[in-house]
Structure 1
Amino acid sequence: MLRDDLPLPMRRDCLIRYFKCLCMIEPLFPMTTSPNPPIFVWYNAFNPHQDSSQHNIHLEKASVLFNLGAFGSHIALSCDLTTLQGQRIAINALHDAAYWFLILTHEAEKASATIDLTISCAQILR
């Protein structure tokens, strides 16, 4: 999903499309009653050969929102701040990151499966 060979804006756009897909399928798979809920696989960032899986769509959405906020911050940091255009892009990217982190605080209320996605930890990011 997150290919390193794509530019940051394209990687961000892929995550936005994935987040929209998660929002669309969420009502179709009630996680508590579905006999075959979707499985979300996560890979270890430090050791990509290790992975884990889980069925919590809210946790998956929260992780996507966190990554979207991180991409916004990364895009802002990669801008050329010596030009007016670079400054505008950086400001827009930081506004975008703040938006995704705000949405993350709402999703964290539903996810709350891990200590790092509690509401208080998500609010620190805003």
Structure 2
Amino acid sequence: MDSRLFRLMAMLAALAAPVPAQAAYSQAYITRIEELADAYEAEFEKLIALNAQIDAAPTMADACALLPRTIEQIAIARYAVERVADFAKANGDMESYDRAASQFDRLWQMEVSYKVRGEDICS
């Protein structure tokens, strides 16, 4: 498998870590942050699938045709993880905030990388 896929899966696993029990967050908070994390996970899985399609594309033209949708999906996943980060921060859960903010930064870097790659390779 492509190393990008492994990085994507590692990013997803980092966010899926449980909310720390010692913080004693309310059940309502835990339920909501899990809902937001699940929404992010669903968008992230779409990104993994698109990345796999790019890797499996029979021609460079086919891969290039998938880049705009992949870049759009990165932005959607970035927005979803931003919602996790904002909710965690607003509720004082800095550990979850830090994990989500890290995912946001990685997705931002990925989006820039895909845009540059698209311009370099697909133009």
Q: Provide the TM-score with structure 2 as the length reference.
A: 0.51
Displacement of 1:62 in angstroms is 2.2
Mark the runs of 5 or more structure 1 residues left unpaired by the alignment. Answer: 1-5, 27-56, 110-126
Q: Is the strand fraction higher in 1 or 2?
A: 1
Give the 5 Å matches for 1:48-87.
58=61, 60-79=62-81, 80-81=84-85, 82=89, 83-87=97-101
- Percent of pairs identical after alignment? 3
State the shift of 1:91 in Å: 0.6
Unaligned runs of 5+ in 2: 1-40, 90-96
Report the Cα distance in structure 1 between the residues aligned to 2:111 and 2:65, rounded to whole angstroms: 14
Tell me the TM-score normalised to structure 1 length: 0.50
Name which of 50, 53, 66 aligns with 1:18: 53
Root-mean-square deviation (CA, aligned residues, Å) is 1.9
Runs of 4+ in 1 over 2 A off after TM superposition: 60-63
Q: Which has the higher contact order (CA 8 A, sep 6+)?
A: 2
Deviation at 1:87, TM superposition (A): 0.7
Correspondences of 1:42-121 after superposition (within 5 Å): 58=61, 60-79=62-81, 80-81=84-85, 82=89, 83-109=97-123
